[in-house]
Chains A and B, each alone.
Chain A
Amino acid sequence: MSDTTVTEIELDFESKRFSVRKPEERFDVQGDMTDDERVEKAMVNFAKDFGRVSATYMEACIHCGACAHACPFYEASGDPRHTPIWKLEPFKQAYKREAGPLAFMYKTLNLKPKVTVDELKEWQELLYDTCTMCGRCTLICPMSIDIATLVGMARHAMFHAGLVPHELYTVTAKAQKEGSPLGATPSVFEDRVEWMGDEHEVDMHIDEDQADVLVLMSSIEIQKYPESMAATAKILNHMGKSWTFRTDGYEATNFGMLSGNTGWQKDMSMKVISTAEKIGAKLVILPECGHAYQALRWQGANMYGKPLPFKVQHISEFLADAVDSGDLKLKTVNKSVAFHDPCQVSRRGGATPAPRKVLEALGVELKEAESGGNMNLCCGGGGGVITIHRADTLRYKIMANKFRQLDSTGAEMMVTSCSNCRQNFDESGEKLSWGKDMNSLLELVAENLVEDAKR
């Protein structure tokens, strides 16, 4: 696979959201393979992780089309191609022809034609540009099919067939090569940690040999919201924790997972896992990043091949526990708040109650949006979608729906616990003149610590 373009492609640091610069010429096909080889690679890699669960889902669909009505992309576009289960069509076809219990029949009688490279190319947009793997479609499905997981598997196929959208491939290759998808290399990270320490007069712990808590950051935070680093440090220092950032394992994002390269996903997870083991960490705190939670909390052990020797928490879970145990006392914030649940942390991660506990401790008036919490509408930027420029128009339409949903609460303040959602709100908010800011739950907590509760 060609990776020569990785460092030549400039990152866009001026934009409100981080990505590579809008490519003048697109390279949405990677590597030199014949069409047949691409199809072959796609099918082999799709089948690789295939098991009972995915086969059940493939068998269970009754083509009712209900999933369309839960999908933020279909709701925004009205395009039937954006029906979630349709996004898997070539793979459903391939499953029936190659792997299902009736494959011999479909193949012999050619009842399901062989998938072509043109179909795969056409489906690139459906699998990458128009799915954040938010999983809302599962809620509406009468068969309860986990389409998001299947889309993840289809992405494995697409990556190995060299059919990843230009920008997503570039940032993924950059992450694999440099340790960060957005240029937050170890030395950049170290500089920025130091800078934030000075700026906020907070003690930063970096590259400690031993610590109970290993803290990760996402590239978006390191580059765009560095205050998150100061906020986390301030809270952990306040609680008297033994903690550290590590330059050999700091990046929480996992573009291997998003783009569909399981090998790279493993490499990225193992970097963190080995670092945590090396320093004897009992807890790894994940930053405000949705997919990072999915990658380490729910897929990390499966990458490692055995249960993780430490606990993994999203920062909102850590804060909720600290509030519960009385380790953190917070000032009252006299405001009404609407909370945007990141799909991968709440609906698909199970940490939905955590931010609510923290908001309660902050004494805010929480105004739940209609179809909020576990049923929340996705912001449309996750799953790597925000990196893809050609997906922008539809993403803004989704965000317009999102803004309407949040605005209808009448809340004075908007809060979330995912920096990718946050940058999507910031960028789309400017584009659509929303006139509001999306705030970080973590930063809100850090700003409202009751100092005399210090141990």
Chain B
Amino acid sequence: MTLLDFARGPAMQIAIIIFVVGIVWRLVGVWALRQKKDLSEARQKGAWVGGIKGLFVHAWPYKPFVPKVGAQYLVGYVIHLGLFIVLIFGTPHMLFFADIVGFTWWTLPGGVITAVAVVTTLALFIALVKRLVNPVQRMISNFDDYATWFVTTAPFVTGLMTTMNMWPHYETGLAIHLLSVWLLLIYFPFGKLMHSFWFVVSRYTTGSRFARRGGMA
């Protein structure tokens, strides 16, 4: 079995199992906790509307905060959108998924994907430098923050190296790229990558709690 066979076979299966089971475990672990009912008289009905609104209003900072954190949000968007575009609209990725789901879809030209990946990688490095240099972020950061950065950045770097034929041995390089993605999947349920789910739950929770009170969150 070559490294590529391993990456395409058992490594992928193990990674997907850990990814799915881990996510379910962590979500259920929190949702299974009891929650006391709020008995106070609601100011207004339809708290869920506020919850839905909360999902969107926190997608960009309120006006007074834009000068302070606007750039940080922007870097965040570049990373998230870059990840999404490369993953879904990169031809080799589409073909990989097509094998599993059984249908194909439109993709972007390789040059565009490479450019997006380069910009995303740069954004990831900017985020890392800020984390290391900014006194607030440096203080509140822990192992998870750096591990998350590493497992997110590695697939971009190894992917770019594969696309640009920078590996001494192409197949081994491709295998390393695949393995870096499985590492991301394996780490996903254990760290803050879970914010892909929590952002919905947390924003909805606060949005609905404050909608029944009035006020703002």
A59 at the interface (CB under 8 A from B): yes
Question: Provided the pairs A52-B34, A53-B35, A56-B198 are in contact, do residues A102 and B190 lie with their beta carbons within 8 angstroms?
Answer: yes
Q: How far is the CB of B129 from chain A (nearest CB, A)?
A: 14
Contact present for B217 and A144 (CB under 8 Å) = yes
Which residues of A lie under 8 Å from residue B213 when comparing CB positions?
298, 348-350
Contact present for A139 and B217 (CB under 8 Å) = yes
Q: Which of B171-217 contact A (CB under 8 A)?
A: 190, 192, 194-195, 198-199, 201-203, 205-207, 209-210, 213-217
B65 at the interface (CB under 8 A from A): yes
Which of B22-30, B90-98, B101-109 forms contacts with chain A?
Answer: B22-30
Question: Provided the pairs A63-B145, A307-B39, A351-B214 are in contact, do residues A139 and B202 lie with their beta carbons within 8 angstroms?
Answer: no
Q: Which of A140-164 contact B (CB under 8 A)?
A: 140-146
Question: Provided the pairs A52-B31, A63-B141, A65-B140 are in contact, do residues A141 and B40 lie with their beta carbons within 8 angstroms?
Answer: no
Chain B interface: which size bin?
Answer: 35 or more
Which of B4-12, B113-121, B130-138, B155-163 forms contacts with chain A?
Answer: B130-138
Which residues of A lie under 8 Å from residue B54 when comparing CB positions?
144
Which residues of A lie under 8 Å from residue B165 when comparing CB positions?
none
Question: Provided the pairs A69-B65, A352-B214 are in contact, do residues A299 and B40 lie with their beta carbons within 8 angstroms?
Answer: yes
B61 at the interface (CB under 8 A from A): yes
Contact present for B203 and A143 (CB under 8 Å) = yes
Question: Provided the pairs A145-B202, A301-B40, A308-B41 are in contact, do residues A59 and B194 lie with their beta carbons within 8 angstroms?
Answer: yes
B45 at the interface (CB under 8 A from A): no
Q: How far is the CB of B195 from chain A (nearest CB, A)?
A: 5
Which residues of B lie under 8 Å from residue A52 when comparing CB positions?
30-31, 33-35
Q: Which of A98-147 contact B (CB under 8 A)?
A: 100-102, 105, 135, 138-146
Which residues of B lie under 8 Å from residue A145 when comparing CB positions?
202, 206
Q: How far is the CB of A277 from chain B (nearest CB, A)?
A: 16
A254 at the interface (CB under 8 A from B): no
Q: Which of B50-84 contact A (CB under 8 A)?
A: 54, 58-59, 61-62, 64-65, 68-69, 72-73, 76
What is the total of A-B residue contacts with beta carbons within 8 Å? 171
Q: Give Cα A312–Cα B41 distance, bound, in whole angstroms.
A: 9
Contact residues of B: prevailing secondary structure: helix
Chain A interface: which size bin?
Answer: 35 or more
B169 at the interface (CB under 8 A from A): no
Interchain CB contact (< 8 A) of B215 among A51, A53, A143, A347: A347
B100 at the interface (CB under 8 A from A): no
B residues contacting A by CB (< 8 A) are: 25-26, 28-31, 33-36, 38-41, 43, 54, 58-59, 61-62, 64-65, 68-69, 72-73, 76, 134-142, 144-145, 190, 192, 194-195, 198-199, 201-203, 205-207, 209-210, 213-217
Ordered by A's residue number, 22 sampled pairs between the chains whose C-beta atoms are within 8 Å are: A50-B33, A63-B140, A66-B61, A66-B65, A69-B68, A69-B69, A100-B29, A101-B26, A101-B29, A139-B62, A140-B62, A301-B39, A301-B41, A302-B38, A347-B215, A347-B216, A348-B213, A348-B215, A350-B43, A350-B215, A371-B64, A375-B62
Beyond A301-B40, A308-B40, A311-B41, list 20 extra A-B contacts (CB 8 Å).
Answer: A55-B30, A57-B205, A60-B195, A63-B144, A69-B68, A80-B136, A80-B140, A85-B140, A102-B29, A138-B206, A139-B62, A139-B216, A143-B199, A144-B58, A307-B40, A307-B41, A349-B213, A351-B214, A352-B216, A375-B216
